[in-house]
Structure 1
Amino acid sequence: MKKQLVLALALAAAPFAAMADGHSYSYVEGGYAQLNQELPDVDDAQIDDIEAAGFFIAGSAELGESFHLFGAYRSGDDDVGVTIPGLGSGSVGVDMSQYQIGLGYHSSVGTRTDLVAEVSALGTEIDVQDDGAEAMEGDDFRLSVGVRHLIADPVEVWVKANYTDGDAFDSAGSVSAGLQYKFTQTWGLVGEVEAGSEFSLFGVGVRASF
């Protein structure tokens, strides 16, 4: 009877123990990324949008109970189609990369939900391969507000609204949404998309939480 009581108490406490871990703000992750950038036509030339496929690495470190540092780097390349009337069509190789580093604040607003606010610096570089010209570089700042929510102990989702302004992006709004499925206490699969009026990105990879 004693053993059965101990087992019952352990089973009853298990879900609460799992929830006590809450959201991790200390992790590293990496995987596949695609950065998309809309481009305007130049004079009569028709230029396809950039769809640069490559990789990303990212991480976050918790600072006390309410703050965290975070950063990310994404890089990819694409062959962009160009059509010039009278001259025909061709493609040009393009490299695109982006870094982000910032400070975030998080606060619990429910048993499974955190409110998150972030401020960050964003740097974007687009380089046309083998043309001899300097790469286009832009430095921007970003404000983000959103929530992280545990649907179930192994499944987390998050949504953020972003405002980006500076050199590369002019008062640009975007929305980010992501999901993590944890198959152990440390390891999980992650996916995230961001969509804006002139740009978007997609990433899928593996995260190790600490």
Structure 2
Amino acid sequence: MRKILIVAALLAVAPLSAKAEALSYTYVEGGWTQFKTSDDDLNDPKIDGGYLRGSIALAEQVHVFGAWNYASKSYDYTYGTFKLELNQPELGIGYHMPFSDRVDYTADIAWVRQQAELTVKDVDFGRLTSKDHTNLVRATMGLRGKPSRMTEAWIKAGYMDGGNEFEGTWVGSVGGQINFTKTWGLVGEVAGYRDVTQFSAGVRASF
């Protein structure tokens, strides 16, 4: 919550006297990601991997977006090993409108698929695999803006539900970008729901 308030304050005090370059809704990015579950009994387990994300502006105020997150971790035990793999693709459509010269109001809805696969290699039982997945719908609203010419920040909050397979829950994210050129920048984001937090850091190319 503290991070969200800080970003909201930065967006609110962004100078309005000089019009910034328009925010781009056509970009591709990729990098490192980590999923962390808050669980004292399991010592807050973490699983690392990578992500790809992209967006294409279809019209002046409409864009489509997609992403793919993958993370894995292997564990050893007395009679073998087991590997946990997480796959999370998503696809959605978004709307944006000017809130001020430097800030846009954003809203989006997306399909999200969470899939987990466990592979066990045991000296007695050989290779065993188990898979499970859940299809979710996520809707968010937020603000995206440019506190300065070479920086960008955004905050979003919303709700995610998977029907009988996943009880609805609030979701939120906060992120930012530091631009080196008009095209290239470094991005970072923290997103979460319930006891799960996802950290991401990568490189973005905007067009």
Output the TM-score relative to the length of structure 2: 0.79
CA drift at 1:19: 4.0
Q: Which of 1 and 2 has greater Rg?
A: 1
Pairs within 5 Å for 1:13-28? 19=19, 21-28=21-28
Kept in 2, the 8 Å contact 1:97–1:125? The answer is yes
* Structure 2 equivalent of residue 31 of structure 1: 31
Number of residues paired by the alignment?
184
CA gap of 1:64–1:78, structure 2 versus 1, over 3 A, is same
Structure 1 SS opposite 2:187 = strand
Partner of 1:129, secondary structure, is strand
Aligned counterpart, 1:134: 130
Q: Which residue identity lines up with residue 175 of structure 1 in the other structure?
A: G
1:3-152, aligned counterparts within 5 Å?
19=19, 21-37=21-37, 50-79=45-74, 92-130=82-120, 132-152=128-148
8 A contact 2:20–2:146 mirrored in 1:
no
Q: Kindly tell me: are residues 136 and 38 of structure 1, through their superposed partners in 2, closer, same or farther at Cα, counting changes over 3 Å?
A: farther
Unpaired runs of 5+ residues, structure 1, are: 1-15, 40-45, 83-87
The letter of the residue matching 1:199 is V
Q: Secondary structure at the match of 2:116?
A: strand
Greater relative CO, 1 or 2 (CA 8 Å, sep 6+): 2
1-structure distance, mates of 2:42, 2:83: 12
**Per the alignment, in what secondary structure is the counterpart of residue 62 of structure 1?**
strand
Whether contact under 8 Å (1:35, 1:96) holds in the other structure is no
* TM-score, L = length of structure 1: 0.78
Counterparts of 1:81 and 1:155, CA distance in 2: 43
Alpha-carbon distance between aligned partners in 1 of 2:76 and 2:38, rounded to the nearest angstrom: 13
Identity of aligned residues (%): 33
Q: 2:168 aligns to what? A: 171
Q: Distance in 1 between matches of 2:75 and 2:105?
A: 39
Work out whether residues 50 and 78 of structure 1, in 8 Å CA contact, stay in contact via their aligned partners in 2.
no
Letter paired with 1:65: E
Letter in 1 for 2:200: G
Instruction: Please report how far the alpha carbon of residue 174 of structure 1 lies from its aligned counterpart in structure 2 after TM superposition.
Output: 1.7
Contact 1:50 1:80 in 2 (8 A): no
The amino acid that maps onto 2:22 is G
Once superposed, which parts of structure 1, at least 4 consecutive aligned residues long, lie more than 6 Å away? none
1:197 maps to a residue whose letter is R
Task: Deviation per CA, 1:61-116: give whole Å up to 9, x if none.
Answer: 0011110000100101124699xxxxx9x974211110111000000010100000
Distance 1:200 1:80, change over 3 A: farther
Computed over aligned residues only, the root mean square deviation of the Cα atoms, in angstroms, reads 2.7
SS for the counterpart of 1:23 is coil
